[in-house]
Structure 1
Amino acid sequence: MNLVSVRIITANMVNMVKFYEKITGIQATQYTPDFAELQTPTATIAIGSTKTLLLFGGEGIAEPAENRTAIIEFLVKDVVKEFERLRDFLSSSVVQEPTTMPWGNTSLLFRDPDGNLVNFFTPVTKESIEKFMSVMQ
């Protein structure tokens, strides 16, 4: 089994797609006004409007801007450089500036337009670098 995608449901497709394009540097493929994807080398960020919930059984199955448990994480080459690049853009949404965590990653934590937590991280200890070696190429 392989995790290939995380889908974010939003009431504001335009803002959410622009936000993820800006932070990742990846242009989204907008299949319809209600569905877009940003393809990274290892997984896809899918963004769906609340209208897409009807295809999955009804509007009540997910609520945009209500996530309080998941963190969307991106492995980046240099989290400090990414922070410098995005500092002005993220100024009002930074939760934690780059900080080295006990498990060996330096992390930048911020929120997307719907309040979802996003983590950019760079492995910095030998163990953490070894753990992510295959996807750091």
Structure 2
Amino acid sequence: MNRVVLIGRLTKDPDLQFLPGSGTAVTKFTLAVDRRFKKEGQQEADFIPIVVWNKIAESSANYLTKGKLAGIAGRIQTRNYEAKDGHRVYITEVVADEVQFLEWGDKKQEQQPQKAQQNNNEDYTEVIGEEDDIPF
């Protein structure tokens, strides 16, 4: 089973892109997730790259902003490619199929938190090849 559930804050505004040809929406952002235990009194965090597809990608880009709290559910996915200098680059990220808006930005502050779900878990490893082909 490959299932991940995270709660954290966005490190910057989400980046919404549309794939050439298909026009499929893809949003990428990084979630800062606090670790459970503190080391020598200082809080530590992991910075986890998140990728969201289709309608949920558009909703995430519209309603999430830097510093806002969000809940993410999805799967861990790895991919790799050969860089221009010849070395292999490995990428691990979470492909989210659910996004919970736990804090609203100024755009929708008066509304209650909502959950966005994505039914189409598109596997984009076939779409992305060389570093220049990466849509984000």
TM over 0.5: no
What's the TM-score bracket when you normalise by the shorter of the two chains?
under 0.3
Structure with more contact order per residue of length (Cα contacts < 8 Å, sep ≥ 6): 2
Q: TM-score, normalised by structure 1?
A: 0.25
The structure where strand makes up a greater share of residues is: 2
Q: TM-score, normalised by structure 2?
A: 0.25
The structure where helix makes up a greater share of residues is: 1
